[in-house]
């Protein structure tokens, strides 16, 4: 692995382990991600595309959705819409669209299927 990829991978792992995850911020963008990784926008984008094999918006959605699912399992009575807002989604429509795109079902049906 190239040196720059290794350094950014280490910083990314550290970001993921922080108590307050970066991806929960509403309006979080590639510029802020690059700053958090202590690199520039170009390297941050290349890292996401080449190392993580996805786009930045897709990465953000995957991280947010995984957070929502994990949190819903830990707190089954927490309303899904509140979790979506806490995860950085601007509105319920954008959350439902991202959820459906990722899991091919609506959130309520997903959690009902899991017994939550």
Residue 80 · residue 107 · CB < 8 Å: yes
- Considering the domain architecture, whether residues 45 and 78 belong to the same structural domain is answered as no
Number of domains comprising the chain: 2
Distance between start and end Cα atoms, the chain: 42
At 50 the pLDDT is 96
Give the torsion sign (CA, 32, 38, 43, 45).
Answer: negative
Same domain membership, residue 77 and residue 41: no
What's the domain range around 18?
Answer: 1-53
Residue 116 and residue 61 share a domain: yes
For residue range 61-80, list pLDDT tens digits in order.
999 999 999 999 999 999 99
Query: Are both 20 and 63 inside the same structural domain?
Result: no
Residues 66 and 96 in one domain: yes
Give the pLDDT confidence of 20-76 residue by residue, as tens digits. Answer: 899 999 999 999 999 999 999 999 999 999 999 999 999 999 999 999 999 999 999
Domain match, 62 and 116 both: yes
pTM for the full predicted model = 0.93
């Amino acid at each position: 692995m190239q040196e720059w990829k290794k350094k950014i991978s280490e910083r990314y792992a550290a970001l993921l382990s922080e108590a307050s995850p970066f991806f929960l911020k509403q309006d979080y963008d590639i510029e802020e991600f690059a700053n958090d990784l202590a690199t520039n926008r170009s390297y941050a984008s290349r890292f996401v595309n080449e190392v993580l094999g996805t786009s930045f918006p897709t990465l953000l959605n995957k991280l947010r959705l995984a957070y929502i699912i994990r949190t819903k399992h830990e707190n089954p009575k927490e309303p899904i819409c509140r979790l979506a807002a806490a995860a950085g989604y601007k509105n319920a429509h954008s959350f439902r669209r991202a959820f459906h795109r990722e899991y091919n079902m609506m959130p309520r049906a997903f959690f009902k299927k899991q017994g939550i």
